[in-house]
Amino acid sequence: MGSKTFYSMHRHGFVRVATSTPRVKPADVAFNRDSVIEEAKRADAANVDLVVYPELCVSSYAIDDLHMQDALLGAVDEAVADIVAASETLSPVLLIGAPLRHSGRLYNCAIVVARGEILGVVPKSFLPNYREYYEKRWFAHGRDIAGEIIRVAGREAPFGSDLIFEASDLPGFVFHVEICEDYWAPIPPSSSAALAGATILANLSASNIVIGKSDDRHMLCRAQSTRAVAAYAYSAAAPGESTTDLAWDGQGAIYELGDMMAEAGRFSLEPLLTVADIDTGRILGERMRFGTFNDAADHLGRPEHDFRRVTFEHQPSMDDIGLIRPVRRFPYVPNRKSHLDQDCYEAFNIQVEGLRRRLEATGSEHMVIGVSGGLDSTHALIVAAKACDRLGLPRETILGFTMPGFATGEATKGNAWKLMNALGIKAEEIDIRPAATQMLSDMGHPFAGGEPVYDVAFENVQAGLRTDYLFRLANQRKGFVIGTGDLSELALGWCTYGVGDQMSHYNVNAGVPKTLIQYLIRWTVSSGQFDAETDKILTSILNTEISPELVPTTEEEELQSTEDKIGPYELNDFFLFHIMRYGLPPSKVAFLCWHAWKDVNAGLWPIGFPETARKQYDLATIRKWLESFLWRFFAFSQFKRSALPNGPKVSAGGSLSPRGDWRAPSDASAQPWLDELRRNVPDA
């Protein structure tokens, strides 16, 4: 790729798709032609690759028996010729709707136009003929048309429902066209087309509006893009169509793998161009991982053999034309305002239910947990408290231990004690410094002789002793140890292996990254899961610097900061999500991350996210920490993940359990990922 083209979205597998709702007038073919061309020029100025117009937009849809008039059909043929000629200097592929004659029949068609050529013509497969629809009065269906040629606008073009279109110079830009009723069918034609390789499914629709129909369209677009593992672009007829008996709202929507990328305003008197950049690489990667997709293609006899693939040279721009799509800064954090409480409730209660079942299964009398006053142990503790509540057990079932070491701060230890007391668990303190000093002395470590040597051994003596105490306390008091380490730490290898925070009897946080833990704690406060005193302590913990508190500092020195060492968790979680969930190359992860984080004032933040905590990052910073992440994730920390204790998967972003989403050798090399990053991402 080369770093010079890093900023081009086309280099990263994106295709810019638009739905268009041009002005129309019933049967005024010349007016409609000009409207189509005007919108094509607007799309060209916006660097759009594919424009989806409404059904029969050249003639207009609601003209009933006028479709059968030769004068109108002749005008349509001439108008199509003019649109094709106008497209010669325009970049987008245009999907326009028109009634066309062929072999003594009339078909409701989508015409695929690109750079002065007609690439193909697709007839409508399913014709509605119920309630307000009478399409069989005028049109023949095209379900069985395959391998044919049609003559339109003075030229010949492939004709049939067996067409898929592919750009030869933009990998992933492979699309299929269906028309309105086709996607209301139990088995839409686009299902077979997706199994045959189409990544973008387009629908030219008329679709009059009635109460609730907008929701139905969204449901079908979302369902089809999910089920077909594809993008789906839908464009409905706009105001301007005849309102003799019906009304029109001009709904446009673009979905990708069930996610809405863009939506048009409705009932607009002005033409609308709704644009979104579709990630065809993400679609193809998901199909590769989703074995059922290939099984379905096998079951249908490999549909790619039933389609003609029309290839064309698209000549995409390789300039920086921006990125028009929602890119979540926090991909693990719930972002749907309408479902916020439900999503947080589910995430939190997945952990609660996992722990409840494990306590029930073991028959243990206690849950043993180390409470540091940090985020992870705080979250694990409130999960344990809710598990007790659900089981009807007293919270004294939880045995909480704070274990100060050489660098434990009074603030964090104070928060630990306040939280344990507020939750009503049984709390104790064990000072690990004497035991740690003895172990360091036995080892002959310089610290035992008074030297300020704070190496990995010094840190891990403390981390290991804490876990050792917890396991022995669990043995002594008929309990089991609740792990507190989170998904982010497991990804980075930021945990002490074996007798350390990597190990427990059951880890409720194993599937929850740091950014989600922070958000869930905020949610427990805002949703009133606990009392006011507990909420106050939780808020204080959220505002505390993340630190392992293992290395002593003087008054002049800053607190040992985890994020100074391994990078901001909000970036690491972004990297983890896109690499683990979708297998994206580092350059594409960096590209997406840069668009998500380059401007603190752009895009949406999670609901309720504090303004004081909002940050932005330049590309150099992103590249630096992505390189660190790749090295930590791929090169040396897998052995810690391969020996994980049990814990529930929480997010669709995946877990790192070797029994679940992620299986990898412990002695692999990170070189392919590091090379790809260094080769393709600018370092300044």
Q: Is 50 helix (H, G, I), strand (E, B) or coil?
A: strand
Spatial contact of 537 and 415, defined as CB atoms under 8 Å apart? yes
Vertex 624, ends 620 and 628: CA angle to 5°? 165
> 367, 384 in Cβ contact below 8 A?
yes
The Cα–Cα gap between 562 and 547 comes to 5
Q: Is 180 a catalytic residue?
A: yes
Structure token digits, residue 634 = 């791929």
- Burial of residue 112, with CB atoms counted within 10 A of its CB: 0-12 exposed, 13-18 middle, 19 or more buried: buried
Query: Roughly how many angstroms between the first and final C-alpha of the chain, as a whole number?
Result: 17
Cα–Cα nearest to 574, from 608, 621, 533: 621
Three-state secondary structure call for residue 356: helix
Residues 6+ apart with CB under 8 A from 41: 90
Nearest to 585 by CA among 652, 680, 664: 680
* Set 109, 180, 221, 388: catalytic member: 180
Catalytic site residue 4?
A: no
Is 55 a known active-site residue? yes
Q: Which of 55, 241, 263, 286 is catalytic?
A: 55
Q: Quick count: other Cβ atoms within 10 Å of Cβ 267?
A: 12
Six-digit token string for 76:
């349509």
Label residue 615 left, alpha or beta by phi (over 0 means left) and psi (-120 to 50 means alpha).
Answer: beta
CA-to-CA distance for 367 and 359, rounded, in angstroms? 8
Q: By the 8 A CB rule, do 550 and 565 touch? A: no
Out of 124, 386, 514, 640, the active site residue is 124
Q: Which residues of 214-248 are buried (b: 16+ CB within 10 A; e: fewer)?
A: beebbebbbebbeebbbbbbbbbbbbbbbeeebeb
Mind giving me the DSSP string for 370-384?
E--SSHHHHHHHHHH
Is residue 75 within 8 Å of residue 84, measured between CB atoms? no
Please state, as a whole number, how many other Cβ atoms lie within 10 Å of the Cβ of residue 78. 14
CB atoms within 10 A of CB 342: 11
Catalytic amino acids?
Answer: 55, 124, 180
